[in-house]
């Protein structure tokens, strides 16, 4: 059996549609894992809106490269455009002409040859066709593509990976090989010891605690169903991690009156605790106290279309049951998740929630907990990078 190759000693440029910040998504986790594996990683934030101008001069690109503060091999690149970002929506060829010059300046600022460009960018801000040999180009869409630019972003890729088969199918017109790689799990969430057989809160006669993580400002949450579940289960404590004010979020979210009303409704419920965005280690510690987890998105609005969510792997690492709207990636894995059968509504999710909570010892029996934990550990980001490296090697 051949030795599993690793991606190491490479210079990697990550193209991300979301900035670096407290809340981590797949692109942030991959950047950090690649740095841990001995690569020099440059994480390119999306451009600041601009342009920036001096008092008496033209716009400046203002490219800055600095340490991440997390790992010495991980550098963060911020940049402000010297032309109006609005060109992207009104004159894409002109926008790309400006961005191409901007990218040349970024690469000059990096000052070393790039081995791999790893793009998570569905906005096609920096087309992969700009990067010629010997640079290896990876396209890695982890969100549902919408619009022609999201599809065109795959052009020029040497290989394509995604977290759902539904997304891969949308790129079938491109010749690059395509592979399903599930969401990963970072080291902070990997269990280091045993796990409780039953709920510690049940043993002590305390209320069950149900965890939810993610950006609460997102409009694709099924807000009425979520409020209904929380309000009709007053004996359950719901702990939420993630942004609930605009200043907390590095990954976007609504600021409209409906969003404000939803957050206010959550805050008014006595059995809800909002922790806000926290570092991964603190999040993992909080998850370890939970008895169950809840996922509640409106699939018709959901940017992932109810196909997969990053948080699932982190929940599974605790061994505790997940109660969720329908998620296609896990449709044949009933031990891992308890989900509604319907793809178009969550009408039965409140009843499913009550059923699971009332029979929590059954759903959290030792065998089920062990299967969930083993599944999560098998998808650690280090393992996903190894799988990707092997797939790249097999194609050469």
Q: Do domains 11-184+380-395 and 188-377 have the same CATH topology?
A: yes
Kind of pairing between the strands at 237-241 and 209-213: parallel
* Domain spans of the chain, in order of start: 11-184+380-395, 188-377
Q: Judge contact between 193 and 291, C-beta under 8 A.
A: no
d(CA 338, CA 327): 10
pTM listed for this prediction: 0.86
The pLDDT assigned to 17 comes to 93
The pLDDT assigned to 54 comes to 47
Q: Which of 326, 311, 328 is nearest to 379 (CA)?
A: 311
Per residue, what are the HEC states of the chain?
CCCCCCCCCCEEEEECCCCCCCCCCHHHHHHHHHHHCCCEEEEECCCECCCEECCCCCEECCCEEEECCCCCCEEEEECECCCCCCHHHHCHHHHHHHHHHHHHHHHHHHCCCCCEEEECCCCCCCCHHHCCCCCEEEECCCCCCCCHHHHHCCCCCCEEEECCHHHHHCCCCCCCCEEECCCCECHHHCCCCCCCCCCHHHHCCCCCEEEEECCCCCCCECHHHHHHHHHCCCCCEEEEECCCCHHHCCCCCCCCHHHHHHHHHHHHCCCEEEEECCCHHHHHHHHCCCCEEEECECCCCCCCCCCCCCHHHHHHCCCCEEEECCCHHHCCCCCCCEECCCCCCCCCHHHHHHHHHHCHHHHCCHHHHHHHHHHHHCCEHHHHHHHHHHHHHHHC
The pLDDT assigned to 251 comes to 47
Which fold, 188-377? Rossmann fold (3.40.50)
Q: What is the CATH number of domain 11-184+380-395?
A: 3.40.50.2000
Give the number of other CB atoms < 10 A from CB of residue 349: 25
Burial class from Cβ neighbours inside 10 Å (0-12, 13-18, 19+) for residue 365 reads middle
The pLDDT assigned to 35 comes to 96
Q: What is the pLDDT along the chain (396 residues), one digit of tens a residue?
A: 334 456 889 999 999 999 998 778 899 999 999 999 999 999 999 998 755 554 455 555 589 999 999 999 999 999 999 889 999 999 999 999 999 999 999 999 999 999 999 999 999 999 999 999 999 999 999 988 989 999 999 999 999 999 999 999 999 999 999 999 999 998 889 987 655 545 556 556 689 999 999 999 999 999 999 999 999 999 999 999 999 986 554 445 556 899 999 999 999 999 999 999 988 889 999 999 999 999 999 999 987 889 999 999 999 999 999 999 999 999 989 999 999 999 999 999 999 999 999 999 999 999 999 999 999 999 999 999 999 999 998 876
Q: Judge contact between 383 and 1, C-beta under 8 A.
A: no
Total residues belonging to the chain: 396
């Amino acid at each position: 059996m051949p030795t599993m190759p690793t991606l190491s000693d490479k210079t990697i440029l990550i193209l991300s549609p979301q900035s670096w910040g407290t809340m981590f998504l797949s692109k942030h986790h991959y950047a950090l894992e690649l740095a841990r594996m001995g690569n020099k990683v440059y994480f390119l934030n999306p451009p600041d809106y601009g342009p920036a101008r001096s008092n008496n001069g033209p716009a400046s690109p203002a490219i800055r490269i600095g340490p991440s503060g997390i790992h010495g091999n991980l550098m963060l690149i911020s940049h402000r455009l010297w032309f109006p970002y609005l060109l992207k929506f009104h004159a894409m060829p002109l926008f790309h002409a400006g961005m191409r010059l901007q990218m040349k300046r970024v690469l000059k600022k990096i000052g070393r040859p790039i081995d791999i460009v790893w793009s998570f960018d569905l906005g096609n801000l920096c087309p992969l066709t700009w990067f010629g040999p010997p640079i290896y180009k990876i396209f890695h869409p982890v969100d549902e593509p919408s619009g022609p630019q999201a599809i065109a972003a795959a052009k020029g890729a040497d290989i394509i990976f995604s977290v759902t088969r539904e997304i891969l199918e949308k790129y079938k017109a491109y010749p690059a090989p395509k592979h399903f790689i599930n969401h990963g799990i970072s080291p902070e969430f990997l269990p280091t010891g045993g796990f409780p057989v039953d709920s510690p809160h049940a043993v002590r006669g305390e209320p069950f605690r149900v965890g939810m993580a993610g950006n609460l400002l997102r409009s694709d949450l099924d807000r009425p169903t979520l409020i209904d579940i929380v309000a009709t289960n007053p004996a359950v404590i719901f702990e939420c991690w993630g942004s609930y004010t605009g200043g907390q979020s590095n990954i976007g979210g609504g600021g409209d009156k409906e969003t404000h009303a939803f957050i206010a409704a959550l805050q008014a419920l006595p059995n809800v605790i909002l922790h806000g965005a926290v570092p991964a280690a603190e999040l993992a510690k909080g998850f370890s106290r939970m008895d169950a987890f809840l996922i509640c998105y409106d699939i018709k609005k959901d940017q992932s279309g109810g196909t997969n969510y990053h948080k699932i792997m982190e929940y599974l690492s605790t061994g505790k049951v997940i109660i969720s709207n329908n998620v296609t990636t896990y449709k044949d894995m009933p031990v891992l998740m308890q989900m509604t059968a319907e793809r178009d509504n969550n009408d039965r999710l409140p009843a499913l929630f009550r059923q699971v909570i009332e029979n929590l010892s059954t759903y959290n029996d030792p065998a089920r907990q062990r299967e969930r934990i083993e599944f999560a550990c098998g998808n650690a980001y280090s393992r996903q990078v190894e799988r990707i490296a092997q797939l790249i090697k097999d194609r050469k």
